[in-house]
Amino acid sequence: MLRELSAGWACLLAACGAIQPQRATEPDALAPPFANKPWAPEEAIRISGAKATLDAFSARSTATPAAIEPERVYDLPYLIGLAQQTNPETRAAWQATRTAAARLGTAEGACLPQSHDGSQHEGFFSRWLNMVSRTQAEQPHWITPLVATTPLLTQSFHYDVLSERLPDGSHLNNYGGGKGLEFIPTPNTEVILAVPPWEQLTDSQSSSGFGNWPSILAKYRFSSANEQQGDYAVTGFLQFTGSNGSQGFSTDTDVLEPGLALGKGWGRFDVMMNLGAEFPLSGNQAAQDFGKPVLATVLAQYQVLDYVWPEFGFNFTWWPDGLRQGSTQLFLTPGVIFGPFPLYDRLKLAFGGGYQLAVTPAPVYNGNLIFSVRLYY
Protein backbone atom coordinates (compact mmCIF):
# COMPACT_ATOMS: atom_id res chain seq x y z
CA MET A 1 0.00 0.00 0.00
CA LEU A 2 2.82 2.39 0.91
CA ARG A 3 4.53 1.69 -2.39
CA GLU A 4 1.36 2.55 -4.35
CA LEU A 5 0.93 5.83 -2.42
CA SER A 6 4.56 6.78 -3.03
CA ALA A 7 4.17 6.10 -6.72
CA GLY A 8 1.01 8.22 -6.82
CA TRP A 9 2.68 11.17 -5.13
CA ALA A 10 5.62 10.90 -7.49
CA CYS A 11 3.31 11.04 -10.50
CA LEU A 12 1.47 14.06 -9.07
CA LEU A 13 4.68 15.97 -8.38
CA ALA A 14 6.00 15.14 -11.82
CA ALA A 15 2.78 16.44 -13.38
CA CYS A 16 2.97 19.66 -11.38
CA GLY A 17 6.57 20.08 -12.39
CA ALA A 18 5.58 19.90 -16.03
CA ILE A 19 3.05 22.72 -15.70
CA GLN A 20 3.99 25.99 -17.36
CA PRO A 21 3.24 28.73 -14.76
CA GLN A 22 3.09 31.50 -17.37
CA ARG A 23 0.05 30.11 -19.20
CA ALA A 24 -2.48 31.91 -17.04
CA THR A 25 -0.90 35.29 -17.73
CA GLU A 26 0.72 34.57 -21.12
CA PRO A 27 -1.81 32.73 -23.29
CA ASP A 28 0.53 33.19 -26.31
CA ALA A 29 2.15 29.98 -25.11
CA LEU A 30 -0.98 28.10 -26.29
CA ALA A 31 -2.56 30.49 -28.82
CA PRO A 32 -1.43 33.08 -31.41
CA PRO A 33 -1.05 36.68 -30.18
CA PHE A 34 -3.20 38.06 -33.04
CA ALA A 35 -5.94 36.67 -35.22
CA ASN A 36 -3.81 37.20 -38.34
CA LYS A 37 -0.68 35.54 -36.97
CA PRO A 38 0.15 31.86 -37.41
CA TRP A 39 0.97 29.67 -34.44
CA ALA A 40 2.36 26.22 -33.79
CA PRO A 41 3.41 24.44 -30.58
CA GLU A 42 7.06 24.37 -29.67
CA GLU A 43 7.22 20.74 -30.71
CA ALA A 44 6.19 21.66 -34.26
CA ILE A 45 8.78 24.46 -34.43
CA ARG A 46 11.48 21.93 -33.66
CA ILE A 47 10.61 20.05 -36.92
CA SER A 48 13.15 20.75 -39.65
CA GLY A 49 11.99 23.60 -41.89
CA ALA A 50 8.80 24.25 -39.93
CA LYS A 51 10.00 27.46 -38.26
CA ALA A 52 11.19 28.94 -41.57
CA THR A 53 7.79 28.20 -43.14
CA LEU A 54 5.93 29.86 -40.23
CA ASP A 55 8.20 32.91 -40.30
CA ALA A 56 7.65 33.32 -44.03
CA PHE A 57 3.88 33.15 -43.59
CA SER A 58 4.03 35.64 -40.70
CA ALA A 59 6.02 38.06 -42.84
CA ARG A 60 3.28 38.01 -45.45
CA SER A 61 0.57 38.65 -42.81
CA THR A 62 -0.42 42.10 -41.63
CA ALA A 63 -2.66 43.35 -38.86
CA THR A 64 -4.96 44.86 -41.55
CA PRO A 65 -5.27 42.83 -44.74
CA ALA A 66 -3.91 44.66 -47.78
CA ALA A 67 -6.17 45.46 -50.74
CA ILE A 68 -6.08 43.12 -53.76
CA GLU A 69 -3.79 44.44 -56.48
CA PRO A 70 -5.22 43.52 -59.92
CA GLU A 71 -1.80 43.58 -61.62
CA ARG A 72 -0.23 41.18 -59.08
CA VAL A 73 -0.15 37.41 -59.45
CA TYR A 74 -0.92 35.74 -56.09
CA ASP A 75 -0.06 32.21 -55.11
CA LEU A 76 -2.64 30.01 -53.43
CA PRO A 77 -1.20 30.06 -49.86
CA TYR A 78 -1.22 33.86 -49.85
CA LEU A 79 -4.85 34.03 -51.01
CA ILE A 80 -5.86 31.49 -48.39
CA GLY A 81 -4.11 33.57 -45.75
CA LEU A 82 -5.95 36.72 -46.84
CA ALA A 83 -9.27 34.91 -46.79
CA GLN A 84 -8.68 33.56 -43.29
CA GLN A 85 -7.63 36.97 -41.96
CA THR A 86 -10.81 38.66 -43.24
CA ASN A 87 -13.15 35.86 -42.23
CA PRO A 88 -15.10 36.75 -38.99
CA GLU A 89 -15.06 33.10 -38.01
CA THR A 90 -11.26 33.22 -37.84
CA ARG A 91 -11.30 35.98 -35.22
CA ALA A 92 -14.02 34.21 -33.21
CA ALA A 93 -12.00 31.01 -33.24
CA TRP A 94 -8.89 32.96 -32.18
CA GLN A 95 -10.71 34.57 -29.24
CA ALA A 96 -12.06 31.19 -28.15
CA THR A 97 -8.58 29.65 -28.38
CA ARG A 98 -6.95 32.35 -26.22
CA THR A 99 -9.76 32.13 -23.66
CA ALA A 100 -9.32 28.36 -23.43
CA ALA A 101 -5.56 28.81 -23.07
CA ALA A 102 -6.00 31.24 -20.20
CA ARG A 103 -8.47 28.92 -18.46
CA LEU A 104 -6.03 26.04 -18.78
CA GLY A 105 -3.25 28.12 -17.26
CA THR A 106 -5.49 29.21 -14.37
CA ALA A 107 -6.52 25.64 -13.64
CA GLU A 108 -2.95 24.39 -13.75
CA GLY A 109 -1.84 27.28 -11.54
CA ALA A 110 -3.73 25.79 -8.60
CA CYS A 111 -1.11 23.00 -8.54
CA LEU A 112 1.80 25.45 -8.39
CA PRO A 113 3.43 26.82 -5.22
CA GLN A 114 1.69 30.02 -4.08
CA SER A 115 3.63 33.10 -3.00
CA HIS A 116 2.24 35.45 -0.37
CA ASP A 117 3.39 38.71 1.16
CA GLY A 118 3.06 37.16 4.62
CA SER A 119 0.01 39.17 5.71
CA GLN A 120 -2.36 36.26 5.08
CA HIS A 121 -0.47 34.15 7.60
CA GLU A 122 -0.16 36.84 10.28
CA GLY A 123 -2.14 36.43 13.45
CA PHE A 124 -4.46 39.06 14.86
CA PHE A 125 -1.89 40.46 17.28
CA SER A 126 0.84 40.64 14.62
CA ARG A 127 -1.44 42.62 12.28
CA TRP A 128 -2.52 44.87 15.15
CA LEU A 129 1.05 45.61 16.29
CA ASN A 130 2.10 46.30 12.70
CA MET A 131 -0.75 48.80 12.43
CA VAL A 132 0.39 50.40 15.70
CA SER A 133 3.94 50.74 14.37
CA ARG A 134 2.70 52.38 11.17
CA THR A 135 0.49 54.76 13.16
CA GLN A 136 3.29 55.82 15.49
CA ALA A 137 5.73 56.25 12.60
CA GLU A 138 3.50 59.10 11.37
CA GLN A 139 4.03 61.23 14.50
CA PRO A 140 6.92 62.62 16.58
CA HIS A 141 8.62 60.49 19.20
CA TRP A 142 8.45 62.70 22.28
CA ILE A 143 8.16 61.21 25.74
CA THR A 144 4.78 61.41 27.52
CA PRO A 145 4.99 64.36 29.97
CA LEU A 146 4.18 64.21 33.67
CA VAL A 147 1.24 66.61 33.95
CA ALA A 148 -0.23 66.97 30.45
CA THR A 149 -2.14 64.86 27.96
CA THR A 150 0.24 64.11 25.13
CA PRO A 151 -1.02 64.69 21.57
CA LEU A 152 0.81 61.51 20.55
CA LEU A 153 -0.81 58.08 20.39
CA THR A 154 0.96 55.73 22.78
CA GLN A 155 0.79 52.13 23.92
CA SER A 156 1.91 51.45 27.46
CA PHE A 157 0.89 50.56 30.96
CA HIS A 158 1.20 53.86 32.82
CA TYR A 159 1.13 54.18 36.60
CA ASP A 160 1.58 57.33 38.69
CA VAL A 161 1.88 57.99 42.39
CA LEU A 162 0.95 61.49 43.62
CA SER A 163 1.33 63.14 47.00
CA GLU A 164 -0.56 66.43 47.32
CA ARG A 165 0.24 68.80 50.15
CA LEU A 166 -3.07 70.31 51.26
CA PRO A 167 -3.50 73.83 52.72
CA ASP A 168 -4.02 72.42 56.25
CA GLY A 169 -0.64 70.67 56.13
CA SER A 170 -1.93 67.15 55.58
CA HIS A 171 -1.11 65.04 52.52
CA LEU A 172 -3.41 63.26 50.09
CA ASN A 173 -1.63 60.35 48.42
CA ASN A 174 -3.04 59.00 45.18
CA TYR A 175 -1.96 55.59 43.83
CA GLY A 176 -2.79 55.31 40.14
CA GLY A 177 -3.04 58.96 39.26
CA GLY A 178 -5.74 58.42 36.64
CA LYS A 179 -3.40 56.33 34.48
CA GLY A 180 -3.61 52.76 33.28
CA LEU A 181 -3.62 50.70 30.11
CA GLU A 182 -3.04 52.74 26.94
CA PHE A 183 -3.62 51.11 23.58
CA ILE A 184 -4.21 52.04 19.92
CA PRO A 185 -7.22 50.10 18.59
CA THR A 186 -7.30 51.69 15.12
CA PRO A 187 -5.20 54.18 13.15
CA ASN A 188 -5.47 57.72 14.64
CA THR A 189 -7.23 56.59 17.83
CA GLU A 190 -6.17 55.70 21.36
CA VAL A 191 -8.05 54.51 24.42
CA ILE A 192 -6.82 54.73 28.02
CA LEU A 193 -8.47 52.51 30.62
CA ALA A 194 -7.40 53.87 33.99
CA VAL A 195 -7.02 51.83 37.14
CA PRO A 196 -9.26 52.93 40.04
CA PRO A 197 -7.18 55.35 42.14
CA TRP A 198 -6.62 54.49 45.77
CA GLU A 199 -6.27 57.57 47.99
CA GLN A 200 -4.89 57.97 51.47
CA LEU A 201 -5.38 61.09 53.60
CA THR A 202 -2.64 61.51 56.17
CA ASP A 203 -4.46 63.79 58.59
CA SER A 204 -5.21 63.15 62.25
CA GLN A 205 -7.70 60.41 61.33
CA SER A 206 -5.57 58.89 58.49
CA SER A 207 -8.49 57.73 56.33
CA SER A 208 -8.28 56.01 52.95
CA GLY A 209 -10.54 54.86 50.11
CA PHE A 210 -11.12 54.97 46.37
CA GLY A 211 -11.17 58.39 44.73
CA ASN A 212 -13.10 59.57 41.69
CA TRP A 213 -12.30 57.19 38.84
CA PRO A 214 -11.17 58.76 35.52
CA SER A 215 -12.12 55.43 33.99
CA ILE A 216 -11.72 56.11 30.27
CA LEU A 217 -9.99 58.63 28.03
CA ALA A 218 -10.37 58.48 24.26
CA LYS A 219 -8.16 60.28 21.75
CA TYR A 220 -8.46 61.05 18.06
CA ARG A 221 -5.38 62.32 16.22
CA PHE A 222 -6.50 64.88 13.65
CA SER A 223 -3.10 65.53 12.09
CA SER A 224 0.54 64.72 12.70
CA ALA A 225 3.96 64.46 11.08
CA ASN A 226 7.15 62.80 12.25
CA GLU A 227 10.47 64.57 12.74
CA GLN A 228 11.32 64.41 9.04
CA GLN A 229 7.95 65.70 7.79
CA GLY A 230 7.14 68.60 10.13
CA ASP A 231 7.39 67.34 13.75
CA TYR A 232 3.92 68.18 15.07
CA ALA A 233 0.68 66.57 16.32
CA VAL A 234 -2.90 67.76 16.84
CA THR A 235 -5.21 65.51 18.86
CA GLY A 236 -8.62 65.79 20.45
CA PHE A 237 -9.49 63.91 23.65
CA LEU A 238 -12.50 63.16 25.83
CA GLN A 239 -12.27 61.87 29.40
CA PHE A 240 -15.00 60.54 31.66
CA THR A 241 -14.53 60.54 35.43
CA GLY A 242 -17.04 58.64 37.55
CA SER A 243 -18.13 59.72 41.01
CA ASN A 244 -17.94 56.20 42.38
CA GLY A 245 -15.28 56.98 44.96
CA SER A 246 -15.50 56.23 48.64
CA GLN A 247 -17.26 58.61 50.98
CA GLY A 248 -15.02 61.54 51.75
CA PHE A 249 -12.91 60.96 48.61
CA SER A 250 -15.50 61.62 45.91
CA THR A 251 -16.82 64.86 44.41
CA ASP A 252 -20.26 63.17 44.15
CA THR A 253 -20.67 64.13 40.50
CA ASP A 254 -19.61 62.53 37.24
CA VAL A 255 -17.40 64.76 35.11
CA LEU A 256 -16.81 64.93 31.36
CA GLU A 257 -13.71 66.69 30.07
CA PRO A 258 -13.29 67.44 26.35
CA GLY A 259 -10.00 68.92 25.28
CA LEU A 260 -7.44 69.58 22.59
CA ALA A 261 -3.77 68.58 22.75
CA LEU A 262 -1.19 70.23 20.49
CA GLY A 263 2.53 69.74 20.05
CA LYS A 264 5.38 71.06 17.92
CA GLY A 265 9.01 70.02 17.87
CA TRP A 266 12.27 71.58 16.70
CA GLY A 267 15.01 68.99 16.80
CA ARG A 268 15.47 67.83 20.40
CA PHE A 269 13.16 70.54 21.76
CA ASP A 270 9.36 70.37 21.78
CA VAL A 271 6.43 72.27 23.23
CA MET A 272 3.02 70.81 24.10
CA MET A 273 -0.22 72.53 25.02
CA ASN A 274 -3.57 71.33 26.41
CA LEU A 275 -6.82 73.27 26.48
CA GLY A 276 -10.02 71.83 27.94
CA ALA A 277 -12.89 72.21 30.39
CA GLU A 278 -14.62 69.98 32.94
CA PHE A 279 -18.42 69.65 32.90
CA PRO A 280 -20.25 68.04 35.82
CA LEU A 281 -22.95 65.61 34.65
CA SER A 282 -24.94 65.05 37.83
CA GLY A 283 -27.83 67.41 38.47
CA ASN A 284 -27.21 67.73 42.20
CA GLN A 285 -25.77 70.34 44.51
CA ALA A 286 -22.32 68.78 44.24
CA ALA A 287 -22.36 69.46 40.48
CA GLN A 288 -23.27 73.10 41.04
CA ASP A 289 -20.49 73.46 43.61
CA PHE A 290 -18.00 71.80 41.25
CA GLY A 291 -18.61 74.40 38.53
CA LYS A 292 -17.16 74.20 35.03
CA PRO A 293 -13.44 74.89 35.40
CA VAL A 294 -11.34 75.71 32.34
CA LEU A 295 -7.90 74.10 32.25
CA ALA A 296 -4.80 75.00 30.23
CA THR A 297 -1.31 73.53 30.23
CA VAL A 298 1.84 74.62 28.41
CA LEU A 299 4.92 72.43 28.71
CA ALA A 300 8.40 72.33 27.18
CA GLN A 301 10.75 69.34 26.91
CA TYR A 302 14.33 68.85 25.81
CA GLN A 303 15.91 65.52 24.96
CA VAL A 304 19.40 65.00 26.38
CA LEU A 305 21.62 62.00 25.54
CA ASP A 306 18.68 60.11 24.00
CA TYR A 307 17.28 58.89 27.35
CA VAL A 308 16.93 62.01 29.50
CA TRP A 309 13.93 64.34 29.10
CA PRO A 310 13.88 67.38 31.42
CA GLU A 311 10.62 69.33 31.25
CA PHE A 312 8.98 72.42 32.67
CA GLY A 313 5.26 73.10 32.63
CA PHE A 314 2.60 75.66 33.56
CA ASN A 315 -0.78 74.34 34.73
CA PHE A 316 -3.56 76.92 34.87
CA THR A 317 -7.19 76.59 36.07
CA TRP A 318 -10.01 79.15 36.04
CA TRP A 319 -13.44 78.68 37.65
CA PRO A 320 -16.15 80.74 35.93
CA ASP A 321 -18.79 79.40 38.34
CA GLY A 322 -19.26 77.04 41.27
CA LEU A 323 -17.91 77.44 44.80
CA ARG A 324 -14.62 78.82 43.48
CA GLN A 325 -16.24 81.21 40.99
CA GLY A 326 -13.76 83.80 39.75
CA SER A 327 -10.76 82.00 41.25
CA THR A 328 -7.62 81.06 39.34
CA GLN A 329 -4.84 78.63 40.09
CA LEU A 330 -1.36 78.34 38.57
CA PHE A 331 1.23 75.63 39.15
CA LEU A 332 4.83 75.50 38.00
CA THR A 333 5.92 71.94 37.32
CA PRO A 334 9.57 71.04 36.77
CA GLY A 335 10.37 67.39 36.18
CA VAL A 336 12.51 64.85 34.37
CA ILE A 337 11.79 61.52 32.68
CA PHE A 338 14.34 58.82 31.88
CA GLY A 339 13.91 56.44 28.95
CA PRO A 340 12.40 54.75 27.18
CA PHE A 341 15.02 52.03 27.72
CA PRO A 342 14.64 48.98 25.47
CA LEU A 343 13.97 45.75 27.36
CA TYR A 344 12.86 43.06 24.91
CA ASP A 345 11.38 43.29 21.42
CA ARG A 346 8.75 46.07 21.68
CA LEU A 347 8.97 46.42 25.47
CA LYS A 348 10.53 49.65 26.75
CA LEU A 349 10.68 51.19 30.21
CA ALA A 350 10.50 54.85 31.21
CA PHE A 351 10.23 56.50 34.62
CA GLY A 352 10.52 59.94 36.12
CA GLY A 353 9.30 62.45 38.63
CA GLY A 354 8.56 66.08 39.28
CA TYR A 355 6.94 68.56 41.62
CA GLN A 356 3.98 70.91 41.19
CA LEU A 357 4.33 74.18 43.05
CA ALA A 358 1.38 76.56 43.46
CA VAL A 359 2.24 80.22 42.81
CA THR A 360 -1.26 81.73 43.24
CA PRO A 361 -3.07 82.25 46.56
CA ALA A 362 -5.66 79.83 47.94
CA PRO A 363 -4.94 76.86 45.65
CA VAL A 364 -6.72 73.51 45.93
CA TYR A 365 -3.37 72.11 47.10
CA ASN A 366 -0.03 73.82 47.70
CA GLY A 367 2.23 71.26 46.07
CA ASN A 368 2.22 67.85 44.46
CA LEU A 369 5.07 65.31 44.36
CA ILE A 370 4.81 63.08 41.27
CA PHE A 371 6.41 59.74 40.47
CA SER A 372 5.62 58.07 37.12
CA VAL A 373 6.52 54.76 35.47
CA ARG A 374 5.55 53.51 31.96
CA LEU A 375 6.04 50.14 30.29
CA TYR A 376 5.71 50.62 26.52
CA TYR A 377 4.73 47.73 24.28
Instruction: Please check whether residue 37 lies inside any domain of the structure.
Output: yes
Question: Same domain for 224 and 349?
Answer: yes
Q: How far apart are CA 335 and CA 369, in angstroms?
A: 10
Instruction: Please check whether residue 6 lies inside any domain of the structure.
Output: no
Query: pLDDT (tens digit, 9 = 90+) per residue, 109-135?
Result: 555 555 444 445 579 999 999 999 999
Domain ends where: 78, 109, 140?
A: 109
Domain housing 19: 13-109
Question: Same domain for 202 and 61?
Answer: no
Q: How far apart are CA 16 and CA 10, in angstroms?
A: 10
Question: Same domain for 19 and 94?
Answer: yes
Question: Same domain for 79 and 198?
Answer: no
Question: Same domain for 129 and 233?
Answer: yes
pLDDT at 175: 97
Q: Please report, for the chain, how many H helices and E strands are present, in that order.
A: 7, 16
Instruction: Please check whether residue 117 lies inside any domain of the structure.
Output: no
- Start-to-end Cα distance in the chain: 54
Question: Same domain for 239 and 274?
Answer: yes
Structural domain total, the chain: 2
Least confident of 56-65, 187-196, 349-358: 56-65
Q: Using a CB cutoff of 8 Å and minimum separation of 24, what contacts does 137-141 make?
A: 137/226, 138/224, 138/225, 138/226, 139/221, 139/224, 139/225, 139/226, 139/233, 140/224, 140/225, 140/226, 140/227, 140/231, 140/232, 140/233, 140/263, 140/265, 140/270, 141/226, 141/227
Question: Same domain for 171 and 26?
Answer: no
Question: Same domain for 60 and 184?
Answer: no
Q: How far apart are CA 165 and CA 370, in angstroms?
A: 12
Closest to 278 (Cα-Cα) out of 324, 250, 318, 248: 318
Instruction: Please check whether residue 4 lies inside any domain of the structure.
Output: no
Q: How far apart are CA 277 and CA 260, in angstroms?
A: 10
Instruction: Please check whether residue 284 lies inside any domain of the structure.
Output: yes
Domain ends where: 47, 74, 109?
A: 109
Instruction: Please check whether residue 135 lies inside any domain of the structure.
Output: yes
Question: Same domain for 75 and 179?
Answer: no
Segment 340-357 shows an average pLDDT of 97
Question: Same domain for 128 and 51?
Answer: no
pLDDT at 90: 67
Domain ends where: 66, 82, 109?
A: 109
**What is the overall mean pLDDT for the chain?**
83
Instruction: Please check whether residue 8 lies inside any domain of the structure.
Output: no
Instruction: Please check whether residue 349 lies inside any domain of the structure.
Output: yes
Assign residue 217 the CATH number of its domain: 2.40.160.40
Q: Provide the pLDDT confidence category of residue 24 given band limits of 50, 70 and 90.
A: very low
Query: pLDDT (tens digit, 9 = 90+) per residue, 177-231?
Result: 999 999 999 999 999 999 999 999 997 788 999 999 999 999 999 999 999 999 9
Question: Same domain for 57 and 187?
Answer: no
Q: Provide the pLDDT confidence category of residue 106 given band limits of 50, 70 and 90.
A: low
Question: Same domain for 58 and 144?
Answer: no
